[in-house]
Amino acid sequence: MSDTEFENNSIFSKTSRSEELETTEQERANIREQISTLSFEELLKMKEKIGSKLYNETVFGVMKKHTKQGYKRANKNRPREMSSKIKVKKLKQELNTSILTKKSTPRDPRFDPLCGEFDNKTFKSNYKFDNQIREQQKKEMENRKEYNEKISIREKLRKGEKPVFKKKSVKKLESLIEKYEELKKTNKLQKHIEKRSKNLSSRERTLETARCKTIENLDF
Amino acid sequence: MSFFIKGKHHNGLKRAKYSNEKNKRRKLDIKSKNEEVTSSEDEGLDNDVPEASSEDENETTQEKKLRLAKLYLEEIEKEEKARLESNELDQGILTKRLKEDYLKESGRLRLTVANKYKDVDGGNVKVLKCREHRNSITCLCVTSDDKYIFAGSKDGVVVKYSLLENKKIGIIPFVKQKNSVVLGHNSQILSVAVSTDSKYLVVGDESSDIYIWDASTLKFIKRLTGHKKAVTGLCFKKDSHTLYSCSKDRLAKVWSLDEMAYVETLFGHQDNITSVDALYRDRVVTCGGRDLRIWKITEETQLIFNGHSGNIDSVKLINEENFISGGDDGQLCIWSIMRKKPLCVIHNAHGLNDTNQQPYWITAVTALLNTDVVASGSQDGFVRLWKLENSCKSISLLLKIPVEGFVNSLNFTSDGSRLIVAVSKEHRLGRWATIKSAKNCIMIIPFIKE
């Protein structure tokens, strides 16, 4: 039996004590049966989680009745009494003033007095990280194919050689080949083919219906 | 010898006066008499329900009781002789001592010692400093035999000092990474407590875990997890290994160190809990936000007290029926368990801040157990000793002790001869202001008594 199942069980719920009293010896015997199937390690973990008091009470039984019908005090000067087992809900006051409801007003750092005066040195040192990102992006660009091809064409022109311009259809074919190579590598080729055929068939269907509709609409 | 003095014996079994069984029986008896159940227990400190014994066992149990009583008397005699260093003892002394012991156990002992405090022994004030406590000292605890002091600071280091020699004897260091082997803490220490038998040292820090260390060797024993936010207060139930902890996640938890396990959680506070205290009974007082709560552990209920106009920062039990609290509105309040409002209030107990006309926050309070002396500390440069009069209904200033800095923790030694003050440059819970001229140290202030 898993931990969650135990938690769901009413005896282990910590919310209301009145429910506990309604559980009969039968139910307690049932639980004891279920507990007996657990290993010692699991039992210890469960005990740690729910607390030794609750665990002992369930296994050995509750010693006395817990319910008190509305704690009455002797006179109004006495402190009021409450149960200490009812979980406290978050105060509504807290929720309303939390970050969820705050709307930040737009602030322009050029005109906001809180942002201080502009100082070139501090600005540069603060935003130094931007240069690093720029360099990273440059490196990424160099890995791109079209970019490389453009550069090679440029070089050839500069040198004076005749550059090789690829036709659009050739470029398309090459990209397709590359795509299929990649899919083959990652074993996703089959799925891709299925999807493509599905896509094509659905497209054909829509075209058919559109054609039929236009024929209908023609006024002869 | 102390085996006898600490607790009376019943049928050979040692039972604490406020054990669960006795509570139940007493409650059942009272319940049958009237419907109200609430503070009847606190009222009924007089009702001592005797245990029934069958006629056949009468002789043996009576004889045994007689024998034990005689032994107890002998031990008291020995103790008193040693204390007074005389070979003859007046009968009056014995009866007085017996009476005191009985009152102590039933929680009704009230000693009036305030008038004995004449002055501070300014020349003998000891200052304990160490390199490890560069940052503010946040918490302090003294062992019940007045031999050692444990102090925790914002550096994450716990230092053990010897009160007899006034020097550092050991530390629990700050360890940055969490290894499989625990060698120290890795965040600010917020609370520290030591058990009455000086066996366990328990430390709570910002990491929401409670660490248990061996008090004598400073070796790690166990880490208790359960709290979700920083653990701001720890205290032991006297003469036991039950630990009460409170934290910023608004929960107070009960732990049993005999089993090294979590027992239960007490729900009720609606704001961070800042302080917790307990004595011999299963009554725990916690404070946080605007209210104080006394938790009745066995009955699973809480009593709610309202009165401060600002956050309550620290609370201490004076005796089993009264407690004192101090808050950031500058008020010092004395409470009784029977009244929802404080018995007496001192507004601006430590004066007003010159710069902003706000009352100085009360950062620490303490009380000498079962007496009428209480002390409070703030950042105004003085620790004030107060005297409770008229069964806690009025209070008057007794002494002013000059101490520069934020007083983050105050403790009396068990005989009340010295006051141990943890002073720092900052408040223990944050850095609202810094007093640069103060030094992060522990001051041991002896008193001149008549």
Average pLDDT, chain A: 80
Q: What's the average model confidence in pLDDT over A22-40?
A: 77
- Taking only the tens place, the pLDDT of each residue in B128-180 is 999 888 999 999 999 999 999 999 999 999 999 999 999 999 999 999 877 78
> Tokens 């009470």, residue?
A57
Domain ranges of chain B: 17-47, 54-106, 114-449
B261 contact residues in A (CB cutoff 8 A) = 47-48, 52
* Three-class DSSP category at A81: strand
Inform me whether the pLDDT recorded for A10 exceeds 50: no
Q: What's the average model confidence in pLDDT over A13-35?
A: 62
Contact B24 A48 (CB under 8 A): no
The pLDDT value given to residue A23: 56
DSSP state of B113: -
**Closest residue in A to B307 (Cα–Cα):** A79
Q: Could you tell me if B19 lies within 8 Å of chain A, comparing CB atoms?
A: no
Band of pLDDT at residue A120, cut at 50, 70 and 90: very high
The 8 Å CB, 24+ separation contacts for A182-187 are none
Q: What's the average model confidence in pLDDT over A151-157?
A: 91
Distance from CA of A78 to the nearest CA of B (A): 5
Band of pLDDT at residue B307, cut at 50, 70 and 90: confident
The pLDDT value given to residue A93: 67
d(CA B335, CA B316): 10
The pLDDT value given to residue B49: 44
Q: Could you tell me if B394 lies within 8 Å of chain A, comparing CB atoms?
A: no
Band of pLDDT at residue B101, cut at 50, 70 and 90: confident
Inform me whether the pLDDT recorded for A179 exceeds 70: yes
- Cβ-nearest to A83 among B250, B256, B301: B301
A80 contact residues in B (CB cutoff 8 A) = 303-304, 340
Distance from CA of B24 to the nearest CA of A (A): 9
Contact A71 B301 (CB under 8 A): yes
B339 contact residues in A (CB cutoff 8 A) = 77-79
CA B291 to the chain's CA centroid = 19
The pLDDT value given to residue A66: 53
Contact A78 B265 (CB under 8 A): no
> Could you tell me if B448 and B118 are in contact, meaning their C-beta atoms sit under 8 angstroms apart?
yes
Query: Helix axis angle, B55-84 relative to B91-106, nearest 10°?
Result: 110
The pLDDT value given to residue B259: 92
The pLDDT value given to residue B48: 46
The 8 Å CB, 24+ separation contacts for B197-201 are B197/B144, B197/B239, B198/B143, B198/B144, B198/B145, B198/B147, B198/B148, B199/B241, B200/B236, B200/B241, B200/B257, B201/B150, B201/B158
Give kind and range of the element (H or E) at residue A92. helix A92-96
CA A2 to the chain's CA centroid = 25
The pLDDT value given to residue A40: 86
- Vertex B152, ends B150 and B156: CA angle to 5°? 140
Band of pLDDT at residue A67, cut at 50, 70 and 90: low
The least confident of A85-94, A171-180, A190-199, B409-418 is A85-94
The pLDDT value given to residue A16: 41
- Fold category of B114-449 in CATH: Methylamine Dehydrogenase; Chain H (2.130.10)
Contact A85 B267 (CB under 8 A): yes
Band of pLDDT at residue A20, cut at 50, 70 and 90: very low
* Three-class DSSP category at B321: coil
Average pLDDT, chain B: 86
**Closest residue in A to B24 (Cα–Cα):** A64
d(CA A205, CA B5): 98
Q: Rounded to whole angstroms, what are the CA distances from B232 to B288, B326, B373?
A: 10, 16, 25
Contact B263 A63 (CB under 8 A): no
